[in-house]
Amino acid sequence: MSKTMIDLAVLDMAGTTVADDGLVLQAFDIAATEAGIDAEGPQRDHARKYVLDTMGQSKITVFRALLGDEHRAQLANQTFEQAYDRLIDEVGIAPIPGAAEAVSALREANVRVALTTGFSRATQDRLLAALGWTDIADLTVSPSEAGRGRPYPDMVLTAVLRLRIDSVHRVAVLGDTTSDIATGHAAGARIVAGTLTGAHDADRLRAAGATHVLASVAEFATVILEECS
C-alpha cells in the first residue's frame, strides 16, 4: 500500500455535499425570535454574525454561547431543528452538483466515506432521507454520537475508529467552514480541504489552514484519487 494512500474521506453535509440556500439562517432566525432575541437591532445583528462565524459547529453549542442559559439553549435548538425540518418540506433541498458522483467514485476506489454534520442525528437522518442518501456513505456521524462537534476532532476520529482506518494520516476531510478545517487538522488528517459552495470564502478557508480550496465537492474525488495513485 502506498504511503500516501487515503483510506477515508470525511465530508460535511450542508454547504459541502448538500446545497443550503440559506435554510440554516432562516431556521436560526425563527429559533432566535422564539428564544427572545430582538428581531432587529444590535442583539440580532451580533447573533447572526456569530452564527455565520461559527457555521459548521454543533447548533446546541452555538445557542449555548449566544443565550448563556442551558434551558433556553435547549428550547432554541429544538425550535431550530423543527424549523429546519419544515423548511426542507416547504423549500426542498438538493445535493451539490457532482456530490453523489464524487462519493461513488471514492467508494469504487475503496476509499471509505463518512458524512458528518453539525445537526442532530434526527435532522441528519431527515436530510439523508429527503435526498435518498440513506445508503450513500459507509458511515454518517452527528456530534452527539461522537462526543463533541466541530471544531473538535471527535467526529473524524469516530469515523476512523468505526471504519477501522489504520492511521489518521490516511484521512481526507472536506468542508465549507473554518470549523471543518479546524476539525480536520485537530484530527491529524493528511488532506484538509475547503469548498466554496457554502458559508466561508477562499481567504477564510486558507487562513484557517486549508490544504486545498476547491470549487466544489465534485473536485474532491480527483484530489484524493491523485493522492492514492
What is the C-alpha separation between 15 and 194, in angstroms, rounded? Answer: 11
Q: Tell me the helix, strand and coil percentages in the chain, rounded to 5.
A: 50, 15, 35
Closest CA to 44 of 62, 73, 22, 66: 66
Q: What is the pLDDT along the chain (229 residues), one digit of tens a residue?
A: 334 589 999 999 999 999 988 888 888 889 888 888 888 888 888 888 888 888 888 888 889 998 988 999 999 999 999 998 888 888 888 999 999 999 999 999 999 999 999 888 988 998 999 899 999 999 999 998 998 989 999 999 999 999 999 999 999 999 999 999 999 999 999 999 999 998 889 999 999 999 999 999 999 999 998 876 5
CB 41: neighbour CB atoms within 10 A?
9
Whether the full predicted model's pTM is greater than 0.75, yes or no, is yes
SS3 190: coil
Give the pLDDT confidence score for residue 37 in this predicted structure. Answer: 85
